[in-house]
Amino acid sequence: MAGTRTETEPLRIAGRELHSRLLLGTGGFRSLDLLAESIRASGSELATVALRRVELPSTVGQPGGGAAAGNGGVAAPGAAAGGSRGALIDVLDAEGVEVLPNTAGCFTARDAVITAKLAREAFETDWIKLEVIGDEDTLLPDAPELLKAAERLVDDGFVVLPYTTDDPVLARRLVDVGCAAVMPLGAPIGSGMGIRNPYNIALIRESVQVPVVLDAGIGTASDAALAMELGCDAVMVASAVSRAQDPVAMAAAMRAAVQAGHLAHGAGRIPRKTYATPSTPVVGMPDFS
């Protein structure tokens, strides 16, 4: 069946071809084994990671414990912590997914830009999922800071994928400063509320020429399918999979939903009408009177 319309076109972001239209967040998985299995079930080729402080060996923080410094011989306490975190990268490498670092937790353009530069050093990638958060309770993006950070990072050669609101005007501004894609939210991060403003998501799809990746808010497979039916080019999920009762099964469900929604969007749905239209011809009906 190669070449038929039941095969989905690859997604292209900044010249890179992705055959899966599902991006996976690595946050919230109970174990790295579960993460690995979920990656396989999702078929995803791109997974987000955060940057956080290396855990220090317990002696290092104490005055007089500085013997650890410089000689490289004292590693044990920190090696375990650092090692388990480092293992995340090993898992992603082993599963063949590319790392998409994020700036999660940054509240200012300045912090996000520094974090992005550190991520570029750490992961040897110019790609950054840019998050600049404005509010701790909703984790909604801070639009002015986001735009400022996006502009600086694009100027510095980054491929910027900003986590943004469902505002079509802001999405256009982000593209105007050179973002390679936009990632509008369906609902607040981790809320599982689905797509609260589907009309805005459709408007964003119409108003920009770069890929639109629905990010945040997805609760279950039908939300992901809806995003694709609205014309989104891809969907990003994290909590919806990692915090599901069976993450691996939900990863498989998301994969199927994204494919189904993408196909349905391409197929062109019938218009909505209030009254019925018979699917069986009326002509040729027998008369039983």
Partner 1 sequence: MIVLNGQQREHHAGEAVAALVDSLGLPAQARGVAVAIDGEVVPRTDWETYAIPDGARVEVLTAMQGG
Looking at residue 61, what DSSP letter applies?
T
Q: Is 248 in the site for partner 1 (CB under 8 A)?
A: no
Residue at token pair 């690995």: 36
State in angstroms the smallest separation of the CB of 201 from partner 1: 20
Query: How many angstroms separate the CA atoms of 148 and 198, rounded?
Result: 27
Looking at residue 260, what DSSP letter applies?
H
List Cβ neighbours of 170 (8 Å cut-off, separation of 6 or more): 143, 146, 147, 164
Q: Is 74 in the site for partner 1 (CB under 8 A)?
A: yes
Contact window for partner 1 (CB under 8 A) among 75-83, 164-172, 252-260, 278-286? 75-83
Contact window for partner 1 (CB under 8 A) among 21-29, 173-181, 196-204, 267-275? 21-29
State in angstroms the smallest separation of the CB of 146 from partner 1: 15
**How many Cβ atoms sit within 10 Å of the Cβ of residue 245?**
6
Residue type at 190 in one-letter notation: G
Q: Is 146 in the site for partner 1 (CB under 8 A)?
A: no
Q: Is 70 in the site for partner 1 (CB under 8 A)?
A: yes
Choose, by CB under 8 A, the member of 18, 22, 25, 168 that binds partner 1. Answer: 25
Contact window for partner 1 (CB under 8 A) among 10-18, 79-87, 165-173, 249-257? 79-87
Looking at residue 244, what DSSP letter applies?
S
- What are the tokens at 177? 């400063």
Residue 231 to residues 71, 118, 273, Cα–Cα distance (Å):
56, 34, 21
**Nearer residue to partner 1 within complex by CB, 121 or 287:** 121
Q: Which of residues 89-128 bind partner 1 (CB under 8 A)?
A: 89, 99-102, 104, 114, 117-119, 121-124
Residue 167 to residues 172, 186, 190, 286, Cα–Cα distance (Å):
9, 11, 19, 56
Burial 164-177 (b: 16+ CB within 10 A, else e): bbbbbebbebbbeb
**Nearer residue to partner 1 within complex by CB, 106 or 221:** 106
Q: Which of residues 206-245 bind partner 1 (CB under 8 A)?
A: 238
Q: Is 184 in the site for partner 1 (CB under 8 A)?
A: no
Q: Which of residues 155-174 bind partner 1 (CB under 8 A)?
A: none
Query: How many angstroms separate the CA atoms of 96 and 74, rounded?
Result: 33
Residues with catalytic roles: 129
State in angstroms the smallest separation of the CB of 163 from partner 1: 9
Q: Which residues bind partner 1 (CB under 8 A)?
A: 25-29, 35, 48-54, 56-57, 60-61, 63-66, 68-72, 74-79, 82-83, 85-86, 88-89, 99-102, 104, 114, 117-119, 121-124, 129, 131, 238
